[in-house]
Amino acid sequence: MTEFIYSPPDTPLDLIHEDHEILVLNKPAGLLSVPGKGAHLADCLITRLQAAFPEALLVHRLDMDTSGIIVFARTPSAQRHLGLQFEKRMMKKTYLARVWGQVAGKEGVIDLPLIVDWPNRPLQKVCHETGRAAVTEWKVLRHDGDSTRMRLIPHTGRSHQLRVHMRELGHPILGDPFYATGPARDFPRLMLHAETLRLRHPDGGRGMTFRAANPF
């Protein structure tokens, strides 16, 4: 396996929405959401965001390789409010993905419990004995030659959930450095994008949906 070298994109913040309680951004692929261990992994989205908005607080994360919608809080009360929405599965998220091969059928649900693969962490694996519930709804958008474009809707928020579930379906996400092999892996980035996020605003509870255009 090729040695990993962290080389985050040098792009300006893509701020989609800003108000007195929340900040919504479109995260580029290749940038950590939060700092990793060591100075070489210090550059990340929240650090860049706090340079402009020092009060910004973490609510959730996207994998380094995933692009798309991510929300931050501007007050501790907003952070608690949004955190509870995630905990109670009130947040609604959709993802776009390009996966290897031609997926049969138009839609379906993957219900496979996941647990960290300790000897190979941060990888995750399916485990029916000790895994935590993980459910993903999928819909085929179209077939593109040797790949399929899909919309993925996670009903739970496990680490690497969409990536493992698509591999288990037999159609790994293109460019996935962890779960794809052979030609499916030979892409410039992970073809996974957080397209939409629906939440209730911490101030008043109004439903709001944010969207980031698909980069691939």
Q: Evaluate whether residue 99 is within a structural domain.
A: yes
Q: What is the pTM of this model?
A: 0.95
**What pLDDT score does 161 carry?**
98
Q: Evaluate whether residue 3 is within a structural domain.
A: no
Q: Which helix (H) or strand (E) holds 46?
A: helix 45-52
What tens digit of pLDDT does each residue of 129-154 get? 999 999 999 999 999 999 999 999 99
Q: What's 152's domain CATH number?
A: 3.30.2350.10
What tens digit of pLDDT does each residue of 68-94 get? 999 999 999 999 999 999 999 999 999
Q: Evaluate whether residue 108 is within a structural domain.
A: yes
Q: Is residue 1 predicted with pLDDT exceeding 70?
A: no
For residue 124, give Cα distances in angstroms to 36, 153, 158, 187: 18, 19, 9, 21
Known catalytic membership, residue 111? no
Beta strand 67-73 pairing with 192-200: parallel
**What pLDDT score does 148 carry?**
98
CB neighbour list of residue 135: distance below 8 Å, 6 or more residues apart: 109, 110, 111, 154, 155, 156
Its sign, for the CA torsion 80, 57, 63, 123, is negative
Q: Evaluate whether residue 216 is within a structural domain.
A: no
Q: Is residue 2 predicted with pLDDT exceeding 90?
A: no
Q: What's the domain range around 174?
A: 95-192
What tens digit of pLDDT does each residue of 92-132 get? 999 999 999 999 999 999 999 999 999 998 999 999 999 99
CB neighbour list of residue 20: distance below 8 Å, 6 or more residues apart: 74, 75, 203
Q: Evaluate whether residue 182 is within a structural domain.
A: yes
- Annotated catalytic residue, options 10, 19, 43, 63: 63
Q: Evaluate whether residue 19 is within a structural domain.
A: no
What's the full length of the chain, in residues? 216
Segment 160-177 shows an average pLDDT of: 98
Q: Which one, of 59, 70, 56, 76, lies nearest residue 28 by Cα? A: 70
Contact 94, 192 (CB under 8 A): no
Tally of domains within the chain = 1
**What pLDDT score does 165 carry?**
98
Q: Evaluate whether residue 157 is within a structural domain.
A: yes
What tens digit of pLDDT does each residue of 184-194 get? 999 999 999 99
Q: Which one, of 153, 177, 72, 163, lies nearest residue 126 by Cα? A: 163
Q: Evaluate whether residue 102 is within a structural domain.
A: yes
Average pLDDT in the chain: 96
What tens digit of pLDDT does each residue of 36-71 get? 999 999 999 999 999 999 999 999 999 999 999 999
